[in-house]
Amino acid sequence: MSILALALGLIHILMDEELYDADFVNRRTVGVDELRHLAAQYALTWVAEITGVPVQQIIPAARLYATSNRLSSKPFLVQLRTP
């Protein structure tokens, strides 16, 4: 549950601050608006409570994730898919 909570928190920040390639995402995915709506429902304080990661660390982590080399995101995505 905590990895999903963290993912929702990161998505919340990435979408809220528009820290993603909207053109790429809109051309290659479906359900972006639904995902934005879903992630917006989860307050960062809830994410922090579930994960044990303070909000003051979640926000910079999302910003770092958005600005880092795209290849660095692959391990995180693989982990999200792993049961």
Fold for the domain defined by 2-81: Dimethylsulfoxide Reductase; domain 2 (3.40.228)
| 3-state DSSP assignment of residue 56 | helix
pLDDT at 65 (0 to 100)? 87
For the chain, the structural domain boundaries read: 2-81
Contacts of 46 (CB under 8 A, 6+ apart): 5
- How many Å apart are CA 78 and CA 81, to the nearest integer? 5
pLDDT at 82 (0 to 100)? 42
* Nearest by Cα to 13 from 74, 58, 78, 68: 58
pLDDT at 72 (0 to 100)? 52
pLDDT at 78 (0 to 100)? 45
pLDDT at 76 (0 to 100)? 52
Identify the helix (H) or strand (E) that includes residue 27: helix 22-28
* Residue listed under structure tokens 């994730």: 65
Consecutive 10-residue averages of pLDDT for the chain (83 residues): 90 94 89 92 95 95 84 49 45
